[in-house]
């Protein structure tokens, strides 16, 4: 189980900024997509490259619904070069690669799914899909903060490759966390991160544990440890407890202006900006690879990717997620969590998630690296190189 939450923040990213500019100017926004679907080997089929489309002249249609900007799904599908939007009753689907990968959902629901022939991964949007003037619409916030980073992870700006993994075992010491007839959450989380540590070190990565034994570590101290590793990823491991709940869920920090998933409604804190919101795009990309891997490897009910303002997600300055590996309040889940084999699978899945994350963002890392080399070359009088192919129009790199 998790702890602590207030505050929020963030911007809508490159695509969101361009849509904002379009709306303010009451004209056209231009977006230059070097578009593709990130490769998730065990979940989605192969890499799906979406052909680059000319940015100039691309027109986004916006509608103001209950004070928020929405974009028609047909417009979204065309931009990312999915096949035509299919609508039956309130359900919709868009496909890529002759149906190899689909994006499906339902009007009035926040749930959308990335589906292939064998796997279905749930993503909970910030706001529900809306019906308006005979069309289905998605919020501009969801387009910029969820859909775009997932479909175009190589457009995420990243300064350097990942070198460190900060593993956070939830609870500890006097704080037992959730309990079952078999054991305590604090012990299971520590076991998982110890196992994961070995796998990450085998990748050549530095691994930092916020706790390595049965010690209580306050939330601010966990954040401090994470922020000492600027080229790292933060993964907080927990197990759930709630009535008849079952299954897996992955949390990422809620963007500014988005309510936490577990709140009953909007709060003033929703509009605040937190340090973690600077990594909104990386956060959702890491959440997708983490959650997709867990769902596929552990074969448990998929509760989806969700957003919250837990202290450890809100205050860290590196990309991070909080994963819930099942419910200790569920007899079936608790029996699996008690199994060392299950915890080993969870640890291996986290390693695979980071590998897929690195692959998805590798092109952007290479571009940044090449730019740095070009800058050094100019200092030595060498000929400069141009702007990287695929850089978003109107944005300096």
Domain boundary among 122, 153, 184: 153
Cα-to-chain-centroid distance, residue 243: 27
**98 in a structural domain:** yes
| Same domain as 179, residue 205 | yes
pLDDT for residue 375 is more than 60: no
Mean pLDDT over 18-33 rounds to 42
Quick check: is 128 in a domain? yes
pTM of the full structure = 0.81
Provide the domain limits for residue 226.
Answer: 164-356
**pLDDT beyond 50 at 48:** no
Whether 147 and 179 share a structural domain: no
The most confident of the ranges 3-12, 90-99, 361-370, 372-381 is 90-99
Residues ≥6 apart with Cβ < 8 Å to 139 = 68, 69, 70, 71, 125, 126, 127, 130
**Does some domain include residue 228?**
yes
- Per DSSP, 143 falls in state I
Dihedrals phi, psi of 285, to nearest 5 degrees: -65, -45
Highest mean predicted confidence (pLDDT) among 8-17, 82-91, 216-225: 216-225
> Kind of pairing, strands 164-169 and 111-115?
unpaired
Residue 385 lies in a domain: no
- The mean per-residue pLDDT over the stretch 114-124 comes to 87
CATH of the domain at 125: 3.30.457.10
pLDDT value of residue 331: 96
Q: Is the pLDDT of residue 123 over 80?
A: yes
For the chain, percent helix, then strand, then coil, each to nearest 5? 35, 25, 40
pLDDT digit string (tens) for 236-252? 999 999 988 999 999 99
Q: Looking at the structure, do residues 97 and 232 belong to the same domain, yes or no?
A: no
Task: State the chain's mean pLDDT as an integer.
Answer: 80
In this prediction, residue 372 carries a pLDDT of 42
Say which residues have a Cβ less than 8 Å from residue 58's Cβ, sequence separation at least 6: 28, 29, 30, 31, 79
Higher pLDDT, 266 or 140: 140
Q: Are residues 145 and 281 in the same domain?
A: no
pLDDT (mean) for 64-87: 91
Token pair of 288 as six digits: 């997708």
- Please say whether the dihedral angle defined by the alpha carbons of residues 174, 177, 182 and 188, taken in this order, is positive or negative: negative
> In the listed set 153, 184, 214, which residue is the last one of a domain according to the structure?
153
Any domain includes 379: no
Would you say residue 307 has pLDDT above 70? yes
pLDDT tens by residue, 333-369: 999 999 999 999 999 999 999 999 998 887 554 433 3
**Residue for token pair 């640890």:** 347
pLDDT value of residue 96: 84
Q: What is the pLDDT of residues 142-189, one digit of tens each?
A: 999 999 998 888 888 765 689 999 999 999 999 999 999 999 999 999
Are 305 and 328 in the same domain?
yes
Tens of pLDDT along 317-327?
Answer: 999 999 999 99
Is residue 48 in some structural domain?
yes
What is the predicted pLDDT for the residue at 159?
56
Q: Find all residues with CB under 8 Å of 231, minimum gap 6, and list them.
A: 159, 160, 161, 162, 163, 164, 318
The verdict on 170 and 289 lying in the same domain is yes
* Residue 319 forms part of a structural domain: yes
pLDDT at 19 over 70: no
Q: Are residues 134 and 216 in the same domain?
A: no
Please indicate, yes or no, if residue 370 is contained in any of the structural domains: no
Model confidence at 215: pLDDT above 50? yes
Higher-scoring residue by pLDDT: 100, 354: 354
Is residue 54 pLDDT above 50, yes or no?
no
**Using 50, 70 and 90 to split pLDDT, how confident is the model at 28?**
very low
Say yes or no: 351 and 220 in one domain. Answer: yes
Domain count, the chain: 2
Do 140 and 284 belong together in one domain? Answer: no
Do 236 and 300 lie in a common domain?
A: yes
CB neighbour burial string for 238-255, b if at least 16 within 10 angstroms, e if fewer? bbbbeeebbbbbbbbbbb
pLDDT at 11 over 80: no
Q: Is the pLDDT of residue 56 over 70?
A: no
Nearest residue to 37 via CA among 56, 52, 50: 50
CATH of the domain at 197: 3.40.630.40
Residues 71 and 140 in one domain: yes
- Give the closest residue to 294 by CA, choosing from 264, 251, 262: 251
Same domain, 179 and 108: no
Q: 41: pLDDT confidence band, cut at 50, 70 and 90?
A: very low
From 153, 175, 204, give the residue that closes a domain.
153
């Amino acid at each position: 189980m998790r702890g602590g939450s207030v505050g929020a923040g963030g911007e809508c990213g490159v695509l969101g900024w361009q849509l904002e500019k379009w709306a303010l100017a009451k004209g056209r926004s231009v977006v230059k997509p070097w578009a593709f679907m990130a490769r998730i080997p065990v979940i989605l089929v192969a890499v799906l490259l979406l052909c680059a489309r000319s940015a100039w002249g691309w027109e986004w249609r916006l509608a103001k619904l209950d004070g928020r900007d929405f974009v028609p799904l047909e417009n979204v599908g065309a931009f990312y070069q999915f096949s035509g939007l299919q609508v039956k009753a309130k359900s919709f689907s868009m496909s890529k690669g002759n149906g190899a990968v689909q994006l499906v959902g339902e009007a009035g629901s926040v749930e959308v799914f990335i589906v292939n022939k064998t796997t279905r991964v749930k993503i909970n949007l910030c706001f529900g899909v809306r019906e308006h003037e005979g069309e289905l619409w998605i919020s501009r916030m969801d387009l910029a903060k969820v859909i775009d980073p997932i479909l175009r992870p190589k457009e995420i700006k990243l300064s350097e490759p990942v070198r460190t993994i900060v593993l956070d075992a939830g609870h500890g010491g006097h704080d037992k966390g959730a309990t079952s007839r078999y054991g305590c959450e604090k012990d299971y989380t520590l076991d998982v991160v110890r196992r994961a540590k070995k796998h990450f070190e085998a990748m050549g990565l530095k691994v930092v544990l916020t706790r390595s034994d049965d010690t209580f570590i306050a939330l601010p101290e966990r954040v401090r440890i994470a922020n000492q590793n600027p080229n790292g990823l933060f993964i907080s491991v927990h197990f759930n407890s709630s009535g008849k709940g079952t299954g897996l869920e992955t949390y990422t920090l809620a963007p500014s202006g988005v309510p936490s998933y577990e709140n009953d409604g909007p709060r003033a804190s929703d509009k605040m900006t937190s340090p973690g919101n600077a990594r909104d795009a990386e956060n959702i990309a890491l959440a997708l690879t983490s959650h997709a891997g867990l769902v596929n490897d552990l074969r448990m009910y998929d509760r989806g990717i969700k957003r919250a303002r837990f202290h450890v997600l809100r205050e860290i300055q590196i990309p991070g997620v909080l994963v819930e590996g099942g419910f200790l309040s569920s007899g079936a889940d608790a029996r699996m969590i008690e199994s060392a084999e299950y915890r080993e699978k969870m640890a291996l899945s986290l390693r695979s998630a980071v590998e897929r994350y690195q692959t998805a963002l590798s092109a952007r890392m290479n571009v940044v690296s090449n730019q740095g080399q070009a800058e050094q070359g100019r200092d030595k009088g060498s000929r400069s190189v141009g702007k990287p192919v695929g850089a978003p129009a109107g944005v300096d790199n």
